[in-house]
Amino acid sequence: MIPGRVSIIVPCYNAAKYLDDAIHSVQAQTYDNFEILAVNDGSKDDTQKRLEEHASIDPRVRMFQQANAGPSAARNTAMRNITGEYISFLDADDVFLPEKLERQVAFLTAHPHVDLVHSDYYTSDAELNLTALTATRPTHVDTIETVAMRNSFPPSVPMFRRRLMETVGPFDEAFRMTEDWDYWIRCAKAGVFAYQPGAVVIYRTHGEQAHHDLDRMFRAGKKVLWKHFKSDLAFHQRALASWYAVHAKARWATAQHAKTGLFLAFSAIHKRIGAAAARFTDQRTTVHARQPLNLSK
């Protein structure tokens, strides 16, 4: 392990259109102790050619190639080969803001008990015109509850320590969607999270993203919640209520008004079941976890 180095993991699938922006955003960082581990996950476009060109120019770009196995497998390939003390993911269609690495490394250095720091992010259109700013400030006292009630941040936002990765283990390759949510829940169970205000990433939205398949995304999210919380009926039902509410909003945004009403109804049902289960068992409905930190420096 090289102290202070950030290993930046970039899973790539048919990413040629946006890959240059992603890699250039790392090379433009105000913190230069990093390596880029880019994994071509069986792309059918010019992704491999673009990676070879970047690797030939910048020795910090390390290139891997594999048959298509999904983003979990691609990140696992990179994680087996990192040399850094810190880890940050970068989806190939997103970009880092210039001080992302410097700010988050400084934060983790100043707070050695923190395992993962997350910050805010911008959303943009396909041309990187900014459309929104999203804060990832914790919404609950329990870290796990904050993460479980919705997928709080895209993969490119946090930075975490190698020791957390070694504790948590690899991504679950059974998930090809919501795999990051599964991973963040596992991290929340194992380590200490902290919030540092300020945007560090631009999350690009475009028509080719997998999350536009709302039905598939919804089913995958339900599997994540079942995997982690099936033994706690009250908490599982509350998390399901939140997930239905999130997807009701998504359906409304795409003018699926009938589904919006249906999802809101199911959200209310799961919320009532969760409340009833909590009363029946006379137990807390939140999962015990380390309290999140809210530090601004």
pLDDT at position 289 is: 47
Q: Do both 148 and 238 map to the same domain?
A: no
At 277 the pLDDT is: 85
Task: Name 135's Cβ contacts closer than 8 Å, sequence gap at least 6.
Answer: 120, 197
> Are 218 and 202 found together in one domain?
no
Is 236 domain-assigned? yes
Residues 170 and 265 in one domain: no
Q: What pLDDT shows up at residue 293? A: 57
How many C-beta neighbours within 10 Å does residue 99 have?
15
Same domain flag for 231 and 93: no
Kindly report the pTM of this predicted structure: 0.89
Q: How does pLDDT run across 184-232, given as a tens digit for each residue?
A: 999 999 999 999 999 999 999 887 766 668 888 889 999 999 999 999 9
What does the pLDDT look like over 233-273, one tens digit per residue? Answer: 999 999 999 989 988 988 888 888 888 999 899 899 998 99
Same domain as 228, residue 100:
no
Q: Which of 149, 209, 131, 150 is nearest to 177 (CA)?
A: 209
Tens digits of per-residue pLDDT, 120-135?
A: 999 999 999 999 999 9
Judgement on whether residues 155 and 245 belong to the same structural domain of the protein = no
Domain boundary among 210, 237, 252: 210
Is position 292 within any domain?
no
Token reading at 104: 């988050």
Show which of 210, 227, 255 is a domain's final residue.
210
288 within some domain: no
Look at 256 and 100; give whichever has higher pLDDT.
Answer: 100
Give the pLDDT score at 296: 53
Is 80 a domain residue?
yes
Per-residue pLDDT at 80 exceeds 90: yes
Q: For the chain, what is the mean pLDDT?
A: 91
Q: Write down the pLDDT at residue 211.
A: 61
Of the listed ranges 1-5, 41-45, 166-170, the one predicted with least confidence = 1-5
Asked if residue 294 belongs to a domain, the reply is no
For residue 110, being part of any structural domain is answered with: yes
For residue 287, what pLDDT band results from cuts at 50, 70 and 90?
A: very low
What is the distance in angstroms between the CA of the first residue and the CA of the last residue of the chain? 26
Say yes or no: 115 and 248 in one domain. Answer: no
Per DSSP, what are the bridge partners of residue 10?
A: 38
Question: Is residue 297 included in any domain, yes or no?
Answer: no
Could you tell me if 64 and 169 lie in one domain?
A: yes
148 with 249, same domain: the answer is no
Domain boundaries, position 74:
2-210
For 144, half-sphere exposure in the C-beta direction (CA atoms, 13 angstrom radius) is: 18
CATH number at residue 107: 3.90.550.10
Residue 15 lies in a domain: yes
Token pair belonging to 11: 């899973």
Cα gap 81→63, rounded to integer Å: 11
Residue pair 194/116 in contact (Cβ under 8 Å)? The answer is yes
Measured between alpha carbons, how far is residue 69 from residues 16, 73, 76, 173, 174 in Å?
A: 18, 6, 11, 8, 10
Count of domains for the chain? 2
Co-location of 11 and 96 in the same domain: yes
On whether both 102 and 218 belong to a single domain, the answer is no
Residue 219 sits in the same domain as residue 206: no
